Structure 1
């Protein structure tokens, strides 16, 4: 993959001057950090940040890939964990500044997806209206700010991801994140290094496994095992697509390795939602690739046999999923985790029933939980709780208005990726078509896991939405100009190699 530099223009002196000024300013900032910070890790992080900034100045595509990498691996939070400054907003502002500079120099504003902007704006208006009627304005303001930041992630991705050649880099960046986090997690589990957080990339928490059994569950860089499983599930079809498509052996091996450690990590989180999401992803992959019946039978046998080598507590925990279909609701409520989830879902429904139009306000589910949970009497915990269901969370906090808009956004992602795949096939670009389907399947895994999780880290969701809408926009542009589809090399594992 080749990253093209800025196009030459008659105004070439201006970007050179801007790069020089920004580089000197950033270098002075780094020098101040190195000089005044007692933290030994901070100067290293600052030096790496300086290099990333310079490379981003030289090439905006690199900035996009760095943005995707840092967001998905949660590098910003890890830097803060070690006493460093929050760099997420500064880096986002830096990217916006570069986009504006490109606009001035090239006199051409990026063709961002209008659908993304419109839907984000409408959902933003709905969120703001709900905010005005919130009971706890502090929590509502925090939620509103988080939404704006999350949506900004999608918009920034949309402004930079305007060329089809960038897609392969984005997919490989995500697979690389999965390989890194998966390697740390697998090593951590196999060596029982649970007290070592590996600089924040490999946290583990002691939680209930089944019944009265507690044990370590891997939570990666997110600090929550269920959320960690959810974001790793997204990467399974992307890694598999690269393993099938790449031409170079080293890249194919790397993709296969990433796929293995990603799947193992999902297992080691002991997440039931992650397990079900993985099954959904595997089901979609089977429908997509349509392997021969022999391969399916072999895969089924290997899947069944894998349970014999897994920890007994894992199989016992997954077996509790059948309790959902049990006729004995008392038995379900006696299971620690299920009891809490039933209470949280019941509370969300009551909130929605009492405030059906615009909900109780963004971020107000947690603060209102205790007032409603007393009515049910299912949950003995005296603490604020999350909804543990993204859709119930949106319904309870933003009512039918917010839920309808949100579901339409998700539908638009799936429909858009399917359309993108068909258009790229029509243009004889099967590589991009496969990446579109792989991203759609990964997003399906995320949406499945969201049945069991609320939106604690919205950056993942909005970044995936931004990538999906941008890809559809690129496909539309390719269709409008058939010559591009004819003259441009097919994007597969050997593009620009």
Structure 2
């Protein structure tokens, strides 16, 4: 949902169709409301980063700022209408939502944060034991339960490391490092480098000219590139809080859409050769 805020916002900016634009902005608002309704601190933090990135990249700072204000109003309304019947107890009252968000300031004193810090220690133990190729896909818990001894980490898992056997790491990036090793992590980083290289090229004048000359291209390529970029920012940020590598298609969908768009336009250059200097003109 946090990723959807940025993707939908920039898709709305990319289209010239008023109905589609309103639909896209409406979806962005629903995504934001969904983040609030989730009561998930990681999702809220990810949404804050995504919204900040949307504002940073937007050429329409005034309109974007107004949309952010509307988003804050949506937050208040969503928190207000959530009732105790939704999940039970006072947790879903407005006070419950803000109380949940206020625990972000507790840091390591919060039980969930403390638990995830211990999981990170367990992940580093796996990395040290199997640095090159890691423990294997989906095998962090199995490896940690085997490697660690009582007292190596804190918390309940420190007392009995076998409890780690089926634990989720709650950090995509540490998951890659511990399960795929340094070699896999290097390839993982390369995916992002390649993504941003291609995405940046989409905003260059040659690519935009080629795109505008294609039949049926009614969307602004620059804003499409910003949509994909903002979605990736959401994935990278959300990856600090959740496992989202193997079981959800977000990363692979963004990589595929970005590479496909880049490839389609690049191939069109064969029909109309461009000057090398023009290809080098790529804005940030």
Match of 1:137 in 2: none
Displacement of 1:412:
1.0
The correspondence for 2:180, drawn from 393, 398, 404, is 398
2:235 maps to what in 1?
Answer: 446
**3-state SS of 2:116 partner:** helix
**Structure 2 partner of 1:319:** 102
Give the distance between the partners of 1:368 and 1:474, measured in 2 at CA: 43
Contact conserved, 1:416 with 1:468, CA < 8 A, in 2? yes
Q: Which residue of 2 aligns with 1:376?
A: 152
Q: Does residue 363 of structure 1 match 2:138? A: yes
Shift in Å at residue 238 of structure 1? 2.6
| TM-fit CA distance, 1:351 | 1.0
CA 1:373–1:481: 2 relative to 1, 3 Å: farther
Query: 8 Å contact 1:369–1:385 — kept in the other structure?
Result: no
- Partners of 2:134 and 2:180 within 8 A in 1: yes
Q: Is the 8 Å Cα contact of residues 7 and 227 (structure 2) preserved in structure 1? A: yes
Alignment coverage as a number of residue pairs: 244
Q: Which residue matches 1:56? A: none
RCO higher in 1 or 2 (8 Å CA, sep ≥ 6)? 2
Distance verdict in 2 for CA 1:366–1:236, change over 3 Å = same
For the Cα contact (< 8 Å) 1:239–1:255, is it kept in 2?
yes
Distance 2:21 2:62 in 1: 24
Distance 2:178 2:112 in 1: 21
Cα distance in 2 for residues equivalent to 1:400 and 1:340: 25
Structure 2 counterpart of 1:278? 47
SS at match of 2:203: helix
Q: Could you say if the C-alpha distance between residues 286 and 452 of structure 1 is closer, same or farther in structure 2, counting changes exceeding 3 Å?
A: same
Displacement of 1:302 in angstroms is 5.3
- Cα contact 1:277–1:445 (8 A) shared by 2: yes
TM-score norm. by structure 2 comes to: 0.75
Paired residue secondary structure (1:374)? coil
Segments of structure 2 that go 5 or more residues without pairing to the other structure are: 80-93, 158-162, 213-218, 275-284
In 2: Cα distance, 1:418 partner to 1:253 partner: 27
2:211, 2:221 within 8 Å by CA — same for their partners in 1? Answer: no
Distance 1:292 1:353, change over 3 A: same
Question: Which deviations, in whole Å up to 9, do the C-alpha atoms of 1:331-368 show, x marking residues without a partner?
Answer: x1x42211221111111111112221122222220212
**1:265 CA drift (Å):** 0.8
Structure 1 equivalent of residue 249 of structure 2:
459
Q: 1:362 aligns to what SS in structure 2? A: coil
**Is 1:267–2:36 an aligned residue pair?**
yes
Q: CA deviation at 1:411?
A: 1.7
From 204, 208, 228, the counterpart of 1:425: 208
Shift of 1:421: 2.6
Give matches, 1:177-256, under 5 Å. 232-256=1-25
Work out whether residues 359 and 399 of structure 1, in 8 Å CA contact, stay in contact via their aligned partners in 2.
yes
Cα RMSD (Å): 2.7
C-alpha distance in structure 1 between counterparts of 2:119 and 2:53, whole Å: 30
1:475–1:251 distance in 2 versus 1, CA, 3 Å: same
**SS in structure 2 opposite 1:480?**
coil
SS class of match (2:134): coil
CA distance in 1, matches of 2:68, 2:253: 34
Answer yes or no: is 1:337 the counterpart of 2:112.
Answer: yes
2:266 aligned with 1:476: yes
Q: CA deviation at 1:464?
A: 2.2
* SS of residue matched to 2:39: coil
Q: CA deviation at 1:480?
A: 3.1
**Residues 286-345 of structure 1, C-alpha deviation per residue, up to 9 Å, x if partnerless?**
12213345863x566556666655322222222222334xxxxxxx1x422112211111
Equivalents in 1 of 2:73, 2:250: separation in Å? Answer: 33
Q: Distance in 2 between matches of 1:379 and 1:456?
A: 27
Take 2:15 and 2:192, find their aligned partners in 1: how far apart are those partners? 29
Match of 2:126 among 351, 354, 358: 351
Q: Are the structure 2 counterparts of residues 302 and 431 from structure 1 closer, same or farther at C-alpha, using a change threshold of 3 Å? A: closer
Describe the SS at the equivalent of 1:482: coil
d(CA) in 2 for partners of 1:294 and 1:438?
17
Larger Rg: 1
Shift of 1:483: 8.1
